[in-house]
Amino acid sequence: MSIQDDLSGLKSKLENIEGEFDSKLKEVENKEAQFKKIEQQIEELISKKDSVVKLNIGGRVYQTRISTLLSIKDTLFAKIVSNSLENNEPLTELFFDRSFDHFDVIIDFLRTKQFNPCGMSKSDIDELKEEVEYYGINEINDILAEIQKEVEFVGFESSGKYSTAGTHKVEDLKDRSLMKGICVQSPYYITIELNFEHEFDSIDIGGYNGNTGLWYPGNGSNATILTSKNKSDWTEVGKIPSNFSSSIQNISLKRTTAKYIKFQHNSYLGIGFLQVNRIGDKK
C-alpha cells in the first residue's frame, strides 16, 4: 500500500469523524432548543394559568398547583410535568402507589421550603427518608442528615434540686469542666430528653465537682441507667460505675435506640458532664 493510499484512507476517516461530530452537535443543539421550549411552556403555563393538579398518594387525594410541583428542579414531580408538556398530554391527576403517611411533610416543603422535624421518631425519619428519595427531594434528605449528626439535649425532668449544688440547666451538661450540672435529692432521678431517637452504646459521664464542701463528686455511683423511646417503657442498659467521681469516664451500655435517658438512684445523684455516643461515632 502506497503513502497516497494511506493518506486517502486517513482523509476518509477524518471526514467520517467530522460528519459524526456535526451530527452529535446538531443533536445537542436540538436538545437544548427542546429544553428551552419546555421551560418557556412551563413559564407560560404558570403565568397564564397556574392550574390545580390532583395527587393521589396511595388512595389519599391532595390538590396543589403546578407551580408547587415545579418549585424544586429535578424532582419526580418536575420531571412528570416537563414530560407532559413535551408530549402535549393533559395534566389533571397523578397517581403514586406510595404511602401517604409522611406526604403532608413533603407537600408542605414544596410549598414553603420549610421543614420542622421536632417530635419525629427514628422510624418516622427513616420512612420519610425513603419517601423523599423516591420523589427526588434531596433538600429534605439533606436536612434529615444534618439534624441526625449530633446528639443534643433539649430538656430534662428531675427530682428536686439539692440546695445550691449545680446550675440545674440541661445545656450545662455539655461543659467538661464538671463545675456545673444537675444535682438532685429524693426521689433521686434525672431524665434527659434527646433531640431525636438516637442509637448508642456508650456514654461519657462525670460527677459534679463545683462545690466539694457542699456536694460529694461521687454522688450517683451505682445509679441505674435506663432508656426509652416514649418516656413510658424503660429498659435498663447499664449502671454508673462505683468509681464515678471527679473525672469523665466512658461507660459501655447495652446497644439501644432511645429519645430519653434516665439516671435512677436510691441516694443523692449528680451529673457534671454527659455525652451520648451514637453508634458509628468516633470515640
State the Cα–Cα distance between residues 222 and 188, nearest whole angstrom.
Answer: 12
pLDDT of residue 3: 65
Q: DSSP readout, 116-170? A: --TT--HHHHHHHHHHHHHHT-HHHHHHHHHHTSS--EEEEEES-EEEEEE---G
pLDDT of residue 82: 82
Q: Tens digits of per-residue pLDDT, 138-192?
A: 999 888 887 777 899 999 999 999 999 999 999 999 999 999 999 999 999 999 9
Residue 90 carries which side chain, given as an amino acid letter?
P
Instruction: Give the residue carrying C-alpha cell 411552556.
Output: 41
**Are the C-beta atoms of 272 and 179 separated by less than 8 Å?**
yes
pLDDT of residue 256: 96
* CA-based torsion, 84, 87, 90, 93: positive or negative: negative
Which parts of the chain sit beneath pLDDT 50?
A: none
C-alpha cell at 2: 502506497
pLDDT of residue 86: 76
State the Cα–Cα distance between residues 217 and 206, nearest whole angstrom.
Answer: 9
pLDDT of residue 50: 66
- Best CA proximity match to 131, nearest among 104, 150, 93, 92: 104
State the Cα–Cα distance between residues 50 and 132, nearest whole angstrom.
Answer: 24
**CATH fourth-level superfamily of 50-147:** Potassium Channel Kv1.1; Chain A (3.30.710.10)
Per DSSP bridges, beta strands 269-271 and 249-264 are unpaired
Length of the chain equals: 283
State the Cα–Cα distance between residues 254 and 106, nearest whole angstrom.
Answer: 35
Model pTM score: 0.64
Phi-psi region of 75 (alpha: psi -120 to 50; beta: other; left: phi over 0): beta
pLDDT of residue 116: 80
The alpha helices in the chain, defined as continuous H runs, are 3-48, 66-69, 76-86, 103-112, 122-135, 138-147
In CATH terms, the fold of domain 153-278 is Jelly Rolls (2.60.120)
C-alpha cell at 244: 464515678
Per DSSP bridges, beta strands 224-228 and 249-264 are antiparallel
Q: Where are the domains of the chain?
A: 50-147, 153-278
